[in-house]
C-alpha cells in the first residue's frame, strides 16, 4: 500500500478540504499542500477538482519515493529529472491504482484523458515548485532550464488524434456559400427577409 495519499476532511465552518499526507507519519507534505491551497483552492475550485489534483500530486510523490528522488533538493541544485526518469514518470502516470494495490506490476492502464490530466497537473506543479525553490535566482539561464524541463514533461502527454478527424464534411463548400449569400443579399427576390 502507498504511504502518500490524499486525506479529505471537513473544517469547522463546514468547508470540505483535502491535503496530501504521508500515511506512515501522518504528516502533511509541505509543498504539495501549499500548491493545493494557493493555486487550486484560492481559484475557488470545487472539492472534487482539489481531490483529483491532489491525487495526481500524491502519485508524483509515490513515484519519487519508489525511485528515491528528493525532488526539492534536486531542484535547488538544478538537477532536473533526466529523460529516462521522465519516461518512467510518464509510464507511472498510466497505471490504474483504483484497486488499492500499489505493486510493481499493475494490470490495467488508465484511459488517455486521465493520463493527460495527470501529466498536465504534474507539469504545472513541478513548474510552480521550480519557481518557488529557485525564486532567489532570477537568471535567464535558470528560467530557460525550467522551461526546457517542463516542456520535456508536457511533450509526453498522449495525443488524441481521433478527436479531430471528421468523416463527413460539416461545412458548406464555396458554391453553396455563394448561393446562400446571393439569396440573402438585399434586393434578392429569393430573400425570405425582404
- Confidence class for position 115, pLDDT limits 50, 70, 90: very high
* Residue 119 belongs to a domain: yes
Question: Closest Cα to residue 132, out of 62, 76, 77?
Answer: 76
Residue 65 above 90 pLDDT?
yes
* Consecutive H or E run containing 22: strand 16-22
- Confidence class for position 165, pLDDT limits 50, 70, 90: low
**Count of structural domains within the chain:** 1
* Apex 80 CA angle, 98 and 30, nearest 5: 55
87 or 190: whose pLDDT is higher? Answer: 87
* Residue 190 belongs to a domain: no
pTM of the model: 0.78
* Residue 192 belongs to a domain: no
* Residue 112 belongs to a domain: yes
* Consecutive H or E run containing 23: none
* Consecutive H or E run containing 34: helix 30-35
* Residue 185 belongs to a domain: no
* Residue 193 belongs to a domain: no
The percentage of residues in the chain with a pLDDT greater than 70, rounded to a whole number, is: 89
* Host domain of residue 82: 4-168
Average pLDDT of the chain? 88
Q: Which cell goes with 143?
A: 528560467
pLDDT in tens, 99-113: 655 555 556 789 999
- Confidence class for position 69, pLDDT limits 50, 70, 90: very high
Using CB atoms within 10 A of its CB, is residue 68 exposed (0-12), middle (13-18) or buried (19+)? Answer: exposed
- Confidence class for position 1, pLDDT limits 50, 70, 90: very low
Across 27-41, 106-120, 151-165, the highest mean pLDDT is recorded for: 27-41
pLDDT in tens, 70-104: 999 999 999 999 999 999 999 999 998 876 555 55
Across 96-105, 120-129, 171-180, the highest mean pLDDT is recorded for: 120-129
Amino acid at each position: 500500500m502507498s504511504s502518500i495519499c490524499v486525506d479529505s476532511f471537513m473544517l469547522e465552518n463546514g468547508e470540505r478540504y483535502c491535503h496530501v499526507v504521508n500515511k506512515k507519519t501522518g504528516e502533511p507534505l509541505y509543498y504539495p499542500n501549499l500548491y493545493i491551497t494557493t493555486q487550486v483552492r484560492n481559484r475557488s475550485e470545487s472539492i472534487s477538482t482539489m481531490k483529483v489534483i491532489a491525487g495526481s500530486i500524491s502519485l508524483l510523490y509515490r513515484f519519487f519515493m519508489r525511485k528515491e528522488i528528493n525532488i526539492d533538493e534536486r531542484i535547488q541544485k538544478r538537477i532536473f529529472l533526466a529523460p529516462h526518469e521522465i519516461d518512467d514518470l510518464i509510464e507511472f502516470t498510466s497505471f490504474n491504482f483504483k484497486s488499492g494495490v500499489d505493486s510493481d506490476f499493475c494490470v490495467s492502464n488508465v484511459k488517455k484523458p486521465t493520463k493527460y490530466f495527470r501529466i498536465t497537473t504534474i507539469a504545472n506543479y513541478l513548474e510552480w515548485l521550480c519557481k518557488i525553490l529557485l525564486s532567489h535566482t532570477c537568471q535567464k539561464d535558470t528560467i530557460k532550464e525550467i522551461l526546457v524541463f517542463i516542456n520535456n514533461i508536457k511533450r509526453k502527454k498522449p495525443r488524441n488524434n481521433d478527436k479531430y478527424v471528421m468523416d463527413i464534411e460539416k461545412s458548406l463548400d464555396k458554391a453553396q456559400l455563394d448561393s446562400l449569400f446571393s439569396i440573402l443579399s438585399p434586393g434578392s427576390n429569393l430573400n425570405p427577409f425582404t
